[in-house]
Structure 1
């Protein structure tokens, strides 16, 4: 763990949980890495078959991070989360929600019509509702103040291939605003980062993902590198820091400026 460092590090002394880290090519892993480089003590989580993968890649961080077993759809996992966290740190200053799932065989790749409700319900629970359930589970650890940051993909428009995951992300964006309303009195900020298309494991599971990313680099004023996770991770870390003390309910776009262009 990394808990000390120069005061110039913007997360010096902060305790951060990054939920949803699988591969070292994931956004969650990139966030954990930059957070450690900026002085934070970082815990990461996963569950099921992916848990062993997470435990292996934890050693590839600048400092090996504790790995917690956490299925955000399991009430027992959420109930025990505070005690698991307290085995390593005495509280949390920030939480990163890097969690989403939609069955690619039934909900993505041009399968919007006919998407079965049980799979849609699962996508909404895992990708949207879990932001609220994870936040609630972490409240006893956060005290007065802190930052919660989630990951979205612009849900204001319909994308090729994204289908029901786009609906789930719209739910996530709305959830973040209601959480910002309800947690503001406790000094807790809730924001999202909307990244451009990145070649993560999750993206590769989307049939037709190339239709989303086609032309992104030429249309984005700043250009776009779909294998560079660093800009997205830095934005998340900035929101976790004290440099945005009066920002909540916001969606920060890290997409090279694509979202602002009409054509």
Structure 2
């Protein structure tokens, strides 16, 4: 199937390397006919600019630090000048200080925790609210966030797990409030993929060791492709009545009891 996103205008955040989940989403989106703009922040901006050249049609990169409210206004203005409207957003933004991960759950203070929640969860609301006028101008659209299932406690994931739980709840409330604008909000709960971000999580190897054996479809920790394809599907018009959903793309691991 081709042309699933023909004519769609998308903002894809969180592309740092060509093994990232967001890169896979951007690549598949372009292959399906979408026009794509990337965003990057801080020291990662240069990485985003560099990896953008590896996409089939190297896109422009806008600076977007979600802790700087003026950046969202600047991005909105840039996209309005470029397209006048926006059909979709991929939210792949997450960060937690080292103190929030790796077994220090009981010791982490609010400053550390608030950073994780602000960047990993509240940013979804900021993006949705800031870019809402452009999506209304398009007649609606789709926001897809990348998630790691927070319905259970994971080894070493600690406060990032709490931040992901907040992301999941935020997505449901956004689905409620943006539904009248025909804007859908869904999450893709990915299985573990060996990205730069994942490698920074203490104990990530524990996921690697068990996931493939328990997932009934198997799981390749080096392959972001299934996640990218799922993002494209949710960005397309093929899910017109699906919102507030968390779609597991994990080989079926989440459904197995043992």
After TM superposition, the score normalised by the length of structure 1 is 0.95
Report the number of matched residues. Answer: 256
Deviates more, 1:84-93 or 1:15-24: 84-93
1:225 matched to 2:225? The reply is no
2:210 aligned to 199, 209, 215, which one? Answer: 215
Q: Deviations over 1:14-65 (max 9, x none)?
A: 0010011111111111110000000000000001111111111111000011
SS at match of 2:82: coil
Once the two structures are TM-superposed, the CA of residue 8 in structure 1 deviates from its matched residue by: 4.1
Deviates more, 1:87-96 or 1:110-119: 87-96
Asked whether the equivalents of residues 161 and 211 of structure 1 are also in contact (C-alpha less than 8 Å), the reply is no
Deviates more, 1:147-156 or 1:87-96: 87-96
Once the two structures are TM-superposed, the CA of residue 87 in structure 1 deviates from its matched residue by: 3.9
Once the two structures are TM-superposed, the CA of residue 88 in structure 1 deviates from its matched residue by: 2.9
Residues of 2 paired with 1:251 and 1:205: CA distance?
24
Counterpart for residue 31 of structure 2:
37
Unmatched tracts of structure 2, length 5 or more: none
SS at match of 2:100: coil
Unmatched tracts of structure 1, length 5 or more: 1-6
2:245 aligned to 247, 250, 260, which one? Answer: 250
Residues of 1 paired with 2:80 and 2:16: CA distance?
22
Counterpart for residue 48 of structure 2:
54
Asked whether the equivalents of residues 212 and 219 of structure 2 are also in contact (C-alpha less than 8 Å), the reply is yes
Counterpart for residue 206 of structure 1:
201
| Ranges of 4+ aligned residues in structure 1 off by more than 3 Å | none
Once the two structures are TM-superposed, the CA of residue 89 in structure 1 deviates from its matched residue by: 2.2
2:75 aligned to 49, 56, 81, which one? Answer: 81
Once the two structures are TM-superposed, the CA of residue 253 in structure 1 deviates from its matched residue by: 0.2
Deviates more, 1:52-61 or 1:218-227: 52-61
Asked whether the equivalents of residues 92 and 142 of structure 1 are also in contact (C-alpha less than 8 Å), the reply is yes
After TM superposition, the score normalised by the length of structure 2 is 0.97
SS at match of 2:53: helix
1:126 matched to 2:103? The reply is no
Residues of 1 paired with 2:42 and 2:179: CA distance?
33
Asked whether the equivalents of residues 189 and 248 of structure 1 are also in contact (C-alpha less than 8 Å), the reply is yes
